[in-house]
Amino acid sequence: MTPSTDDRSDMPIEDFVELARRAHKLVKLEFIGGRLLVKHGPIDVEDFEELARMAPETVTLELINGKLRVKPVPDGDHGEIYMWLMRQCMQQRPDLGLYPEQGLVIGTYRKGRARPDGTLAPIGHFAGQGEWPAPKGVLMVVEITSHDCDTHRRDRVEKRDAYAVAGIPVYLLIDREANTLVVHSDPQHGTYAQTVSHPYGATVGLPDPLNITLETEKLKDYAL
């Protein structure tokens, strides 16, 4: 089967060599044009979970709508933006935690596995739930865009749709290319009914059930 270009993500050759070495013999990976490909077509969830467990520390894998994705390694500004958001959320809602890269079962057409940059949920919510808990009880997921060729499809389209289907109340996208915060909310029938974009510097109110107000002037320090 010819690999689909939809199953690709940027990664260094060294990471691919190590990932391919560790992969189950039935999972055939290729590295073409600097991108990871699943040679035999879509990977099933059981093979994905084993591959994700075996991946080297430098590689974080996700399964979005049946497609294997490589989550980019965050840069310094990405980390600072995450810390800025975590402080604001926990100052206003000390009953909540913004969990970094918490695995979630995100089921769409095929079973999915995602690791949002941030997952907002009550303190203690994930205790005893294992590596890939269901999204029930999650109040918000957050993605901060990375500077790679797949960020549009991955963060602005695929993950938006998958999080809506999962019924997660709010999806906050911090878009570093556009210098905006995009608040998706009110999931209905597999889509977010409300989408509002705010420029860096605006006061951004996150809707129910969050009731958090973000003062975003600081984000200008990390603007392109």
pLDDT tens digits along 23-52:
766 666 766 666 675 666 667 787 788 878
What are the tens digits of pLDDT across the range 141-178? 999 998 766 666 778 888 999 999 999 999 999 999 99
- What's the CATH code of the domain at 100? 3.90.1570.10
End-to-end Cα spacing for the chain:
41
Residue 93 backbone zone (phi > 0: left; psi -120 to 50: alpha; other: beta): beta
Tell me which amino acid residue 217 is: E
Q: Which residues contact 75 (CB under 8 A, 6 or more apart)?
A: 146, 147
Entry pTM: 0.77
At 54-92, the pLDDT tens digits run: 777 777 778 877 777 777 777 899 999 999 999 999 999
Shared-domain flag, residues 105 and 182: yes
Whether residues 170 and 207 share a domain: the answer is: yes
Query: DSSP 3-state assignment of 58?
Result: coil
> What is the rounded radius of gyration, in angstroms, for the C-alpha atoms of the chain?
17
Let me know whether 160 and 133 are in one domain.
Answer: yes
Interacting residues of 76 by C-beta distance below 8 A, sequence separation 6+ = none
129 and 204 share one domain: yes
How many distinct structural domains can be found in the chain?
2
Which residue, of 71, 90, 117, is where some domain finishes?
71
- What is the extent of the structural domain holding 213? 76-222
